[in-house]
A = this chain, B = another copy of it.
Amino acid sequence: MEESDIAFVNELDKDSIETYDQKTLKTNIPGFDALFVNGGLPAGSAVMIAGGPGTGKSTFCRQICYNRISEGKRCMYVSFEENKEKIMKSMKTFGWDIKEYIDNGQFLIQIINPLDVLRMKFGSLGGSGSATELSSKIKPLVIPKDFHPDVIVVDSLSAIIAASITKEKNYRIYLQQLFSFFEETGATSLLIAETDPLPTRFSDSGIEEFLADGIIVLYNVQKQQGRVNAIEVLKMRYGQHIKKIVQMNITNTGIVVNPEQPVEIQF
């Protein structure tokens, strides 16, 4: 067998590899960054924010956005279901007024109508085009030219998959393309994943959790004293972290994590 047989090895990866130190994204959610040895999320990662209904997934991501844009960064929030007004109203209830950041272009809320995505033509996989051509067609969202977001939130991953991917035999491969897309943006991606209340799987297919760089799970569990919110870093590539489920409060001014207060959950 000849070396020349390796037609499908990606030659582009052979060039210019250099190791670099892992950059860290501080979320400034009280108590949350302390869960990581490096004091924050590994920058540039694609992280699933997973949880059942009412666990605070959207609030968690919006708080990170607010904290970042307050420091002058750019963020992009992609919503499939809530409109811009409702998102603004919801953030206002925590005291996060984002109107000025929308006006000055720091915060971009992109409302996507799933009907529009349906109408787009995706290149059919396995066709004659080159890999580059193909991947350019599998872009479920468009980042404006010269807008380089620090954080991209997708609310929700479940919705973006429903709108852009047919459940068929090539499902995993489409997903790999989707995660590659987020990776290539250079931004830290927070991908909201809708799960059962006490999830042991984090997606219908059981595949997304292996493709993601990290998984943060939000819980809303019944205790004798009532429902309790909790948070856990279940997986994080490129960053060491505390391996505990800890308490989380959703207060008037946003989420507060108590990294010292473990929460026991019976799965």
Contacts and interface: CB of A to CB of B under 8 A. Distances in A.
Contacts of A90: 237-238
A97 B119 CA distance: 47
Interface in A163-180: 163, 166-167, 169-173, 176-177, 179
Interface string A13-31: 1100111101000000000
Contacts of A93: 22, 238
Contacts of A142: 1, 5-6, 9
A10 B112 contact: yes
Contacts of A85: 13, 17-18
Interface string A197-216: 11011100011011110010
Contacts of A92: 19
Given A115-B134, A176-B80, A17 B88 contact: yes
A191 to B, nearest CB: 14
Contact of A264 (B212, B224, B250): B224
Contact of A265 (B99, B163, B176, B222): B222
Interface residues of A, number: 108
Contact of A125 (B20, B112, B115, B169): B115
Contact of A113 (B109, B131, B228, B245): B131
A200 B158 CA distance: 18
Contacts of A162: 171-173
B54 A158 contact: no
Interface in A1-51: 1-3, 5-10, 13-14, 17-20, 22
Contacts of A227: 232, 234, 243-244
Contacts of A7: 116
Given A8-B112, A197-B200, A202-B53, A179 B89 contact: no
Contact of A112 (B9, B177, B234): B9
A11 to B, nearest CB: 10
B19 A262 contact: no
Nearest to A211: B81
19 contacts: A3-B144, A6-B110, A9-B111, A9-B112, A18-B85, A53-B210, A53-B212, A86-B237, A113-B131, A114-B172, A115-B173, A118-B125, A159-B172, A163-B173, A196-B201, A226-B243, A226-B245, A227-B232, A228-B243
Given A114-B172, A227-B243, A227-B244, 20 more contacts: A3-B145, A5-B142, A8-B112, A8-B116, A10-B112, A10-B116, A17-B88, A19-B99, A53-B212, A86-B238, A114-B176, A115-B135, A158-B207, A158-B210, A194-B210, A196-B200, A222-B265, A222-B267, A225-B262, A226-B242
